[in-house]
Amino acid sequence: MRKEEPDDDQKPDLLAHYRPVAIRAVAEALTLKRNNPDARPLRETEYSGPAASDDADWDDEPGVSFIR
């Protein structure tokens, strides 16, 4: 049996395409962290904005505070 050719308007499966790239990127980040134990923790480098908290004092958004 022959597989049908994809239509021109059919969107590619980006998740299947980029999954190996993402896995390699995470593995490389963990390798760099292992090789340099004095570096900042990865959780501090994944978001460059201000630290978010769910305090009752912080009430400038009407919605759920942890969704940005």
Buried-state track 33-67, b at ≥16 Cβ within 10 A, e below 16: eeeeeeeeeeeeeeeeeeeeeeeeeeeeeeeeeee
Give a yes or no: residue 29 inside a domain: yes
Give a yes or no: residue 51 inside a domain: no
What is the sign, positive or negative, of the torsion defined by CA atoms of 54, 60, 65, 68? negative
Q: Which range of residues forms the domain containing residue 23?
A: 14-45
pTM of this structure: 0.37
- Is the model's pLDDT at 64 over the cut of 60? no
Give a yes or no: residue 21 inside a domain: yes
Q: Give the number of domains in the chain.
A: 1
- Residue-wise pLDDT for 8-63, tens only, equals 667 778 888 888 888 898 888 888 777 777 777 766 666 555 666 555 555 555 55
Give a yes or no: residue 50 inside a domain: no
How far apart CA 41 and CA 63 sit, in angstroms, is 30
Give a yes or no: residue 28 inside a domain: yes
Predicted local confidence at residue 36, as pLDDT = 77
Give a yes or no: residue 30 inside a domain: yes
